[in-house]
Amino acid sequence: MTVKIPYSTALITYVMAPILIIVVLMYVLLKPSKEPEITLKEPLRNASIEPSVTEKTVVEIDQSDALRDSIVSYGMNLLGTPYVKASCGIDGFDCSGFVYYVFQHFKIDVPRSSAEFQNFGKTVSIDSAKKGDIIVFLSPTRPVIGHIGIVTLSKGMETEFIHASSGGEMKVIISGLKQIGYQKRFVKVVSVL
């Protein structure tokens, strides 16, 4: 099945969005270190305005959230792409190939094999999972790591994730931990950001 998207959508998705992300990241990483500027609607009289630690922290969180949103958005653009065993390209993915392809788009190194996620990244609890984290499962046929996906919605044991499914769908889909098959095979969530 071929999905046709309008030229303007493709231009925004594949050209403009990555450029915007790069520009924002370059600005954040290369700008001179100085106190943030604060603009007030009404001037304060006899007040000293010192930026707080909280204000600086919020900026860092917003940057991380923007990257997480971009990772999930890029993955969502691949919904419906066929599952192809041992593949890692726009014509088809296996589960680890999908995760690898999405993260490589943002120049983030992750293993190409799901089994390598056994000892990779920082393990976080399912309740602390964030959009863009990697969710790890046992194989459906053996007690070893055998499937991974990307968290799209963090809701504890109702977390949703996008992945290349080798099940009945045989394509990139969104599933949830509410589904008993995934709930039973759930191992951990890994943060690489």
CATH code (residue 72): 3.90.1720.10
Hunting for tokens 């690898």 — which residue is that? 100
45 part of a folded domain? no
Q: How confident is the model at residue 76 (pLDDT cuts 50, 70, 90)?
A: very high
Tens of pLDDT, residue by residue over 93-130, are 999 999 999 999 999 999 999 999 999 999 999 999 99
* 106 three-class SS: coil
Hunting for tokens 């900026």 — which residue is that? 59
6 part of a folded domain? yes
38 part of a folded domain? no
What's the average model confidence in pLDDT over 38-56?
A: 45
Share of the chain above pLDDT 90, in %: 65
- Packing angle between helix 17-30 and helix 53-76, nearest 10 degrees? 160
Hunting for tokens 């995934």 — which residue is that? 182
37 part of a folded domain? no
Count of domains forming the chain: 1
121 part of a folded domain? yes
Separation between Cα atoms, residue 127 and residue 152, nearest integer Å: 14
66 part of a folded domain? yes
46 part of a folded domain? no
Q: How confident is the model at residue 28 (pLDDT cuts 50, 70, 90)?
A: low
Q: How confident is the model at residue 39 (pLDDT cuts 50, 70, 90)?
A: very low
Average predicted confidence (pLDDT) for the chain: 83
Residues 6+ apart with CB under 8 A from 132: 67, 68, 69, 71, 72, 150, 151, 193
Q: What is the pLDDT of residue 64?
A: 86
Range of the domain at 11: 1-29+52-193
